[in-house]
């Protein structure tokens, strides 16, 4: 059975939906600014200090008390640099370098595979090197949320994450072999917080969200977007069997 879910604007809660979208956009902007400051200011200063200490260390003979103290200080600074970079990456996971999106999605799959014992495969067809950083960060968060939901709620053991370039649009799909969705999300029966967040992010990047689910056969979430779209399309289509 297939049924489209009404756009947020068509519901009585349309104003609330607009506010949610604005709130997420503002939070993302703040996080981006904080991440940039951490990377450019704090991270750079720590790295420069570590280099200065390293140069000072080279002036002292091996085995001296000063040499040992400097070595310990450098080690602590290196940990601080790594922590700062990790924090900045958490706030703004995808950098502006070409291919930042697909590289981080590939890494996301590898992390789930290694850390959570979840078979998570990544595949890509087409060119995704020039996806704007703001769009890429939203897509990454969507993938993160989808995989988390599949593991936590769907009890999935295998996930396929793919990026596909078509003639007129781009597509990111996350498919799992979990339990599937129990309920079709509608305006009357609102979706959960995770899926609502995904909807809001799709709205911000002017993308369409499609859900396809079969009982005991898993769920597929697709995000479809185009660089030429100028107006947001909030329609979420849902298919269940």
pLDDT of 101-114, one tens digit each? 999 999 999 988 88
CA angle 74, 76, 78 (to 5 degrees): 70
Q: Label residues 99-115 b or e (16+ Cβ within 10 Å = b).
A: bbbbebbbebbeebeee
**Percent of residues, the chain, with pLDDT higher than 90:** 26
Question: How is residue 187 annotated by DSSP?
Answer: S
Model confidence pTM above 0.75: no
| Average pLDDT for the chain | 74
Q: What's the pLDDT score for residue 113?
A: 85
């Amino acid at each position: 059975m297939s049924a489209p879910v009404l756009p947020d604007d068509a519901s009585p809660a349309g104003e609330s939906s607009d506010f949610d979208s604005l709130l997420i956009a503002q939070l993302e902007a703040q996080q981006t600014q904080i991440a940039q400051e951490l990377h450019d200011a704090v991270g750079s200063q720590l790295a420069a200090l570590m280099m200065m200490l390293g140069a000072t260390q080279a002036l002292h003979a091996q085995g001296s008390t000063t040499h040992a103290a400097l070595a310990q200080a450098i080690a602590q600074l290196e940990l601080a640099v790594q922590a700062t970079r990790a924090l900045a990456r958490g706030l703004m996971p995808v950098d502006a370098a070409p291919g930042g999106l697909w590289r981080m999605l590939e890494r996301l799959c590898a992390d789930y595979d290694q850390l959570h014992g979840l078979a998570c495969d990544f595949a890509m067809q087409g060119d995704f090197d020039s996806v704007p950083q703001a769009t890429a960060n939203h897509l990454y968060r969507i993938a993160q949320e989808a995989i988390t939901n599949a593991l936590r709620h769907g009890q999935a053991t295998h996930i396929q994450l793919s990026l596909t370039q078509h003639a007129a649009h781009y597509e990111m799909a996350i498919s799992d072999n979990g339990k599937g969705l129990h309920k079709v999300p509608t305006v009357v029966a609102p979706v959960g917080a995770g899926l609502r967040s995904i909807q809001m992010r799709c709205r911000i990047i002017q993308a369409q969200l499609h859900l396809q689910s079969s009982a005991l056969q898993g769920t597929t979430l697709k995000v479809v977007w185009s660089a030429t779209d100028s107006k947001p399309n909030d329609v979420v289509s849902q298919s269940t069997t």
